[in-house]
Amino acid sequence: MAFEPLVWYCQPLQNAAWTKLVDGAFGAYTPCAIGSGVFLVSHLVLLGLCYYRIWLIKRNSKVQRFSLGSEYYCYILGFLAGYCTIEPILRLLMGSSIFNLDGTTGLAPYEVTSLIIEATTWCSVLFMTGLETKSYIREFRWYVRFGVVYVLVGDAVLLNLILPVKDLHNSYALYLTISTVFCQVLFGILLLVYFPSLHLSPGYHLIESDSLDDEKYEPLSGGEQICPERQASIISGVLVICRKEPL
């Protein structure tokens, strides 16, 4: 007997086209395994990386902040990220599935979950790109770029699954999926080669984490020092006082 929550989540169809036309170890569960095990996980990784970089930009006072020499490049990245955000929302609202090969309509729970996470992920990328036009930091940017590459690997696995049976897919859903993958690939390429000209933000002062106790004391004019007792023992200080006072 199949595990009922898994059956509800994946909704496999017996004698479906996935078992007849596609060679896969998961059979009717193939689209669920790819959509949840590869596509969904890769977007969750990118989502976590973006959220952490957003936190660094907005909350961390120890990172060095810059202003961009030009913001046009970020606008292009923002446009691509915006398209990647809108596409899964459209498919979700219209109930257009990329995995239905038997002419059935509607979205299985795993596909609804994947579309929600995909839209949330690219919305966070769009928000992060907008923040970078106001305050840019170098920290953690390569982790985000590698996260985008990981998403592209998931896209490649998805295309490898659906393109061999493209004639059975809903043409509208197929067009949206391919166009979104194209935008994500273009976004990834532009992001990997993006090395902006940076200027220190006006009025920005980096907060040092070192304690004031670690500072070295410098001699004052006249040969005196700040807090010379820090360099003398208690006994030597008592002896000096006894020599100055009469018995």
Residue 206 lies in a domain: no
Predicted TM-score (pTM) of this structure: 0.76
Judgement on whether residues 191 and 154 belong to the same structural domain of the protein = yes
Judgement on whether residues 136 and 233 belong to the same structural domain of the protein = no
Residue 205 lies in a domain: no
Tell me the mean pLDDT per 10 residues along the chain, length 247. 71 64 66 84 95 91 85 93 94 84 74 93 95 90 94 90 75 86 95 88 54 48 51 49 46
Judgement on whether residues 56 and 98 belong to the same structural domain of the protein = yes
Judgement on whether residues 9 and 130 belong to the same structural domain of the protein = yes
What is d(CA 150, CA 124) in angstroms, rounded to the nearest whole number?
16
What is d(CA 92, CA 46) in angstroms, rounded to the nearest whole number?
21
Provide the pLDDT for residue 81: 95
Residue 20 lies in a domain: yes
Which residues are paired to 219 by β-bridges?
225
Helical ranges in the chain per DSSP H = 4-10, 17-21, 30-34, 41-59, 72-94, 109-132, 141-162, 171-192, 234-244
In 3D, which of 157, 162, 173, 136 has the Cα closest to residue 54? 136
Judgement on whether residues 138 and 238 belong to the same structural domain of the protein = no
| Pairing state between β 198-200 and 66-68 | antiparallel
Judgement on whether residues 66 and 185 belong to the same structural domain of the protein = yes
The phi, psi pair for 224, rounded to 5°, reads -80, 160
Residue 132 lies in a domain: yes
Give how far the C-alpha of residue 35 lies from the chain's centroid of Cα atoms, to the nearest Å. 19
Q: Mean pLDDT of all residues in the chain? A: 79
Judgement on whether residues 143 and 231 belong to the same structural domain of the protein = no
Judgement on whether residues 127 and 21 belong to the same structural domain of the protein = yes
Judgement on whether residues 52 and 160 belong to the same structural domain of the protein = yes
Residue 207 lies in a domain: no
Domains in the chain: how many in total? 2
In 3D, which of 118, 100, 103 has the Cα closest to residue 11? 100
Judgement on whether residues 235 and 140 belong to the same structural domain of the protein = no
What is d(CA 185, CA 149) in angstroms, rounded to the nearest whole number?
9
Judgement on whether residues 30 and 98 belong to the same structural domain of the protein = yes
Judgement on whether residues 88 and 23 belong to the same structural domain of the protein = yes
Q: What is the pLDDT of residues 55-109, one digit of tens each?
A: 999 888 888 888 888 889 999 999 999 999 999 999 899 888 888 776 666 788 8
Provide the pLDDT for residue 68: 87
Domain that holds residue 225: 212-244
